[in-house]
Amino acid sequence: MEMISYGRHHIDEADIQAVVDCLRSGALTQGPRIAAFEQAVAAYVGARYAVAVSSGTAALHIAALAAGVGPKSALVTSPITFVASANAALYVGARPVFADVDPATANISPAALAETLARNPDVKAVIPVHYAGLSCDMPAIKSVADRAGAVVIEDAAHALGARYANGQRVGCCADSLMTIFSFHPVKSLTTGEGGMVTTNDEETYRKLLRLRSHGINKGEDIFHYPENAVTDGVPNPWYYEMFELGFHYRITDIQCALGLSQLAKLDRFVARRRQLALRYDQAFADSRLIQPAQMSGRESSAHHLYPVRIDFSAAGISRATLMKELRQRGIICQVHYIPVPAQPYYRSRGFNPDDYPNAQAYYRQTLSIPLFYELTDQQQDHVIAVLKEFLS
């Protein structure tokens, strides 16, 4: 039996050829495909600059550093996210803080964010997460963050190809300093592993470039000791300076070859995901027990996931039993997410998941059902039929 997973990538012959061409080109890393991929994504989302890195997590880490988040400061994010969004605070020695979600979207609530910022004057940055591909209310978040003097970094790991309510593409950074993306295989497009930061701020861009590669400047920025960089007026080809403590977070040309090839299909990927999401919406429209978790922004979401909310107590079945029954019928679902403050590591640092009642209520009911480009109508009908068998 072919298993139908909650998400998966799509690779075609053009992708394979692009990677083969890269392998034959001789440039495996630090070659021309990295800049080409960065420029293509920046142009797609409408941002001035983009820096490609080895993962979305690396993107979050260097974005937090570039935003000046560090010890004695705090960083607010959503409890309904992957742990990486909050871990970015811990990587830079800052204090993670959570603001509860809006039950209608499972995205961070601007009202809860305002209260959280009022209680935590040391917050230096806010990381809203465009959960499941649906953009957050960025104008509201930006205005709340501005009032608190906090920088906004958008976690758009789920949202490449999505738009904001005003029609601009997620990642253009109109209401943020930076946006991060992930190119893990279940995401909108894949590079195997990979990530990117977009920004419109040149200084931030330069800092991100350095942080990606050991904090080293090879002459893109003004040297601290320019006299060591030249001999008789000619640049010394070996010379570089380490300005700050950076990392090895570089992506390879092989990955960017795949990314460029995938980007050419992105709009098609998102359009099919949307079509499938609307089919699910229709199928569950009259159900009391199963409802789409996000009903707004259906035309603008990247539809990374299709999370539903299920009234398990009314249905008389537990989530664990339902997932087991689905798996026996070839359907693999997933839960996005266990609220981050519920993780043992966070609890041991004093967090209590009950402090975020909307996130807890969401977690108790949510299930991500299959949604990906290659999902056929027939496979989707099977998923719908099996769910209805248990939830009617």
Ligand X SMILES: Cc1ncc(COP(=O)(O)O)c(C=O)c1O
Binding site for ligand X (CB under 6 A): 55-57, 81-82, 84-85, 129, 155, 157-158, 182, 184, 195
Q: How far apart are CA 249 and CA 246, in angstroms?
A: 9
Nearer to ligand X, 158 or 303 (CB): 158
State in angstroms the smallest separation of the CB of 100 from ligand X.
17
* Closer by beta carbon to ligand X, 260 or else 283: 260
User: Smallest gap, in angstroms, from Cβ of residue 127 to ligand X?
Assistant: 9
Q: What is the C-alpha to C-alpha distance for residues 287 and 290, in angstroms, rounded to an integer?
A: 6
Least Å distance, CB 183 to ligand X, is 7
Confirm if 97 and 120 have CB atoms less than 8 A apart: yes
| Pick 192 or 330: Cβ nearer ligand X | 192
Residue closest to ligand X, measured at CB: 56
Amino acid at 247: F
CB atoms within 10 A of CB 283: 18
- Dihedral angle over CA of 207, 96, 145, 119, nearest 10: -150
Q: Cite the DSSP H helix spans in the chain.
A: 13-25, 32-45, 56-66, 83-91, 110-119, 138-147, 202-212, 253-263, 266-283, 312-315, 319-328, 344-347, 357-365, 377-390
β-pair type (74-77, 95-98): parallel
Q: Which CB atom, from 57 or from 380, has the smaller least distance to ligand X?
A: 57
CA distance 115 to 121: 11
Min separation Cβ 193 and ligand X, Å: 6
Nearest to 59 by CA among 147, 161, 191: 191
Comparing CB distances to ligand X, the nearer of 97 and 386 is 97
| Residue 390 beta carbon to ligand X: minimum distance, rounded to whole angstroms | 27
Please, what is the minimum distance in Å from the beta carbon of residue 180 to ligand X? 7
